[in-house]
Structure 1
Amino acid sequence: MASFSYAQHAQEGVVFENKTHVALAGITVENLNGKYKTVTDKQGRFSLTAKISDMLVLNGFGYKPDTVVVTDLHAREFYMDPLQHLLNEVEINGKGAVNESIFKQRKDPDFHNQTMTYQRNKDGTVKGGINLRIWSNKKTENEAKKRELEAKNDKITAQIQQAFSKESIEKYVPLKDQELHSFIMRYSPDIETFTSEEFNLAAYLNKCYKEFVKLSPEERLKASIFGN
C-alpha cells in the first residue's frame, strides 16, 4: 500500500500595505509548522521554506499580525493592515509652543467616533491625556464579531476547497473519475481539522487513502456527505 510524502519547497511573496499597495520592508514571516523565519527586503519580498497546509504568520511594527495557510507554492502577494493609533504626534518647537492642531476636537473610530478633548489645567494649558466618554453597544460589537468570524470561516473554506480540488488531490492519491470525486467528498476536512496545528496534508491523505481502499468497490463510488 502506498504512502505519501513530498519535499519541502519555498513560498515566495511580496508584502504590501493594504489599500496603499506600498511594499513593506522588515516584516517578519514565520512558518509555524517548520519553525522557519525570515524578514522582507526593501521591496517587501521574501522566500521561506514551506509546504502545502503550513501556516505562515506575518508580523511587523505598526501593522496587525496576519496568519495565512499555504494552499499552493506559487509566488503571491500578501497584504497587511496598519494599526490605528489613538493620538496623533504632538510637535513642540524650541519656544515650548505646542502644535495648535492638538486643540482641535477629533473623533476616534476605535471609540464609536466619539469626540476627543484634551485635559487641561485651571489656567487652560494642556495637562495631558484625554477626556473620553466610554460608550459600548454589546449588540453591535457581537454582530461585528459574528461577521468577522463568518468572513474568516469563508476564507478558510475557500482554502480547503482549493487544497482538496480534483487537480490537487489527484497528485497524491492514485484515483480517477468517480472514485476520486467520492474520496474528495468523503474526506474533505472541516475547518477545525484543517486549521489545527497537527494537520499535515500528506499525512492526512495517506491515512484517508488507507481507509478508502478498505471499502468495497460499491462503497468507493458513493460520495458520503459526512467528513472523516
Structure 2
Amino acid sequence: MTKRIILLLLILAPFQLLAQNFLTGNVFDNENRATSIEGAAIKNLTTKAFTLSDKDGHFAITAKIGDLVSFGMPGFQTDTVYLVNLFPKNIYLRVEVNTLAAVDIKGVKISPMLNGLGNPDNKPPVKTLDYSKEKGGLRLNLGYGRWRKDQAKIQELEENDRIQQEITKNFNAETVKEILKFEGPDVKDFLSLYRPTVDQVKAEKPFNYSYYTATAYRAWLKLPADQRKLPPLPKLKGN
C-alpha cells in the first residue's frame, strides 16, 4: 500500500509543479461581463513571456508569485496585476475613452508681429519692422523673444504641476494596496521614499505606474529595516 502511495505521488508531482508555474484565467469586457475577449495580449512583464486569449477569453501563461502581468487589448485600458498567488483569475478590461481637452480661448496670446493682418482699415500695426537704411537695416523686436521664453517657462511649470497631480493619483496608499496587497503604517514611508520624480515620468511615456510600484516595492524590501523609515525631522530650537 505504501509503495502505491509513493508511486502515485511520483506520478502527480510533475503535474503539481507544472501547475504552480502557470497562471490561468479568463478575460472579459467590464461593461458586459458575460462577453469574453478574444485576442487580448497577456504579457509577463517580469519574464517577458507572452500569450493571447482564445475565442472563449481563456489564457494560460508561465508565471510565479511576485511577477507582474499585464492584460491589454486595442480599445481597452491595460490592466496590470502583481501576483500574490497563482489562483485562476478573471480579468475585466474597461473600454478606453479618449476625451479632448477644451480650448481656453481667453488664454491665447497673439504675437505682436501679427498685428494688422486682416485689418480692413489698413491701419499700421502696433509694432512694425523698420527697414530704413538710416537705422542700419532690419530692426528686430527683442522684447518678443523674451516673451516667448517666459511663455515656455510658464508652460513647463504647468506641465510639471500636471505631472505631480498624475503621480499623486497613480502612486498612493490605495493603488499600492490594490497592486501589492501592502498596507499599514509602513506604506507612508514607502510612498515618500519611492515617489516617482517628474523627470522619471517625462522620460517614459506612457509611464507604467504599476510596473514601477512593483519594482520599487522589491527594492524597498531589500533595504535594511532601519533604512525603510524616513529620517525624523530635526527639532526646532527654542527662542
TM-score (norm 1): 0.47
Say which structure is richer in helix: 2
Larger Rg: 2
